[in-house]
Amino acid sequence: MFRDSSIGIEQYPSSATGFINKCIDDVIPTVTPIRCERLLCNQTSVCLASPLRITYYHLTFPTNIPVPTNVFRMGPSNTVPGDHVQIAIVGGNEGSYFSAQRVPSGGVMAVVQPITEPQDFELSLEMRLLHYGTTSTYLAKVLVFVVQEHPIMPFQSRE
Residue 157 counted as domain residue = no
What is the count of structural domains for the chain? 1
The H-assigned helical ranges of the chain are: 45-49
Q: What's the pLDDT score for residue 100? A: 97
Residue 1 counted as domain residue = no
Residue 13 counted as domain residue = yes
Q: What's the pLDDT score for residue 155? A: 66
Question: In terms of pTM, does the model score above 0.75?
Answer: no
Residue 4 counted as domain residue = no
Q: Pick out the chain residues at pLDDT < 70.
A: 1-33, 35, 39, 151-159
Terminal Cα-to-Cα distance of the chain (whole angstroms): 67
Its domain, for residue 136, covers: 9-147
Q: What's the pLDDT score for residue 83? A: 86
Residue 26 counted as domain residue = yes
Q: What's the pLDDT score for residue 6? A: 39
Q: Is there a contact between 124 and 91 (Cβ–Cβ < 8 Å)?
A: yes
Q: What's the pLDDT score for residue 121? A: 96
pLDDT tens, residue by residue, 144-159: 999 997 766 666 666 5
Q: What's the rounded Cα separation, in Å, for the pair 77 and 157?
A: 51
Residue 64 counted as domain residue = yes
Residue 5 DSSP symbol: S
**What CATH number does the domain containing 54 carry?**
2.60.40.60
Closest CA to 108 of 121, 122, 127: 127
Residue 15 counted as domain residue = yes
Over pLDDT 70: what percentage of the chain?
72
Q: What's the pLDDT score for residue 1? A: 39
Residue 100 counted as domain residue = yes
